């Protein structure tokens, strides 16, 4: 597996693994033994970068990742997240707390729990999951600076934060990586976020790089989603919108045929071709999908091909928001 550098010096596999789906949002879920075997097989295949969060399944995702990756020690990089008040959990939809909190005392309590569950002496990359409007980002950055000095955190980052917030945070404590959605069907990051990260020397970790599996070619105009599946709440996947958005999938499938590869590898290879400090984290629960996804690191595009792809993407209108309205309100702060 090829390697990439996030920020100044965090080396990770060019393609990571988003672990949320093992326990949340995308049923059916594997049993614990199967999930652990899959995570360990990912390491054998060359993946060294794994993404989780305390909020995923109310701690259970971190526990799973910690147990699965413990044998590999510091040979793997684990990213996790803080930012919710887990002491006063409320449930809504997929059983996630709805109260944001990045107060220093909340962060300190969060990291102690994450360290225990992940079976680590420190957190490789610690993201603020969502910006807390009630706590100035400078205070959050100061808290993370202290945790870095104490050796409990090695690098820190932000998730779904606005460029202005990233700049303010970076002035207090250098940010290693920012996580946000970016893919062939959601390119908002290109306007302001990517230029800001390039200027500041911050790495970018796109989640949902396969459009929540849309870009793999698995779905067609007749696909429906069970109410237990997170995609059933997303406007882009709803009836009418999905049928329209298949146009993009058809285009990616055609690109895959031209390069004798798969749509998923085209989507991931395209992301990697945008900047050499971009590291996507596709999520999957299956070994064969991990094998397919890491092959995206070997896909190459010429500058002419990239220009033609951009021109074609600009001509395709994607209908529907990427999140339900209440969740979108938590982003871009």
56 catalytic per annotation: yes
CA distance 244 to 318: 8
Residues 301 and 259 sit within 8 Å (Cβ to Cβ): no
Please pick, among 26, 29, 56, 126, the residue that the annotation labels catalytic.
56
CA distance 49 to 16: 5
Question: Phi and psi (nearest 5°) for 178?
Answer: -120, 135
Q: Which residues belong to the active site? A: 56
């Amino acid at each position: 597996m090829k390697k990439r550098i996030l920020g100044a010096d965090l080396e990770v596999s060019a393609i990571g693994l988003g672990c949320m789906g093992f326990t949340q949002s995308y049923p059916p879920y594997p049993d614990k033994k199967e999930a652990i075997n899959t995570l360990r097989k990912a390491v054998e295949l060359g993946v060294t970068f794994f993404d989780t969060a305390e909020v995923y399944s109310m701690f259970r995702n971190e526990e799973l990742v910690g147990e699965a990756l413990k044998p590999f020690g510091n040979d793997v990089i684990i990213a996790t997240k803080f930012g919710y008040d887990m002491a006063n959990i409320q449930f809504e939809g997929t059983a996630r707390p709805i109260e944001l909190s990045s107060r220093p005392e909340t962060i300190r309590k969060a990291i102690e729990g994450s360290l225990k569950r992940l079976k680590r002496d420190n957190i490789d990359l610690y993201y603020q999951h969502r910006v807390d409007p009630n706590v100035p980002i400078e205070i959050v950055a100061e808290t993370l600076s202290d945790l870095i000095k104490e050796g409990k955190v090695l690098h820190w980052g932000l998730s779904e934060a606005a460029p202005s917030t990233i700049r303010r945070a970076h002035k207090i404590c250098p940010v290693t990586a920012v996580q946000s959605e970016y893919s062939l069907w959601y390119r908002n990051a290109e306007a302001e976020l990517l230029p800001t990260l390039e200027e500041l020397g911050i790495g970018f970790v796109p989640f949902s790089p396969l459009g929540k599996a849309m870009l793999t070619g698995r779905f067609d105009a007749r696909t429906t989603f069970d109410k237990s599946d997170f995609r059933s709440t997303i406007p882009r996947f709803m009836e009418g919108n999905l049928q329209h958005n298949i146009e993009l999938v058809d285009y990616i499938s055609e690109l895959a045929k031209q390069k004798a590869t798969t749509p998923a590898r085209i989507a991931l290879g395209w992301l990697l071709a945008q900047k050499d400090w971009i590291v996507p984290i596709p999520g999957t629960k299956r070994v064969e999908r991990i094998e397919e996804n890491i092959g995206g690191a070997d896909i190459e595009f010429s500058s002419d091909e990239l220009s033609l792809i951009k021109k074609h993407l600009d001509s395709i209108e994607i209908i529907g928001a990427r999140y339900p309205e209440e969740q979108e309100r938590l982003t871009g702060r």
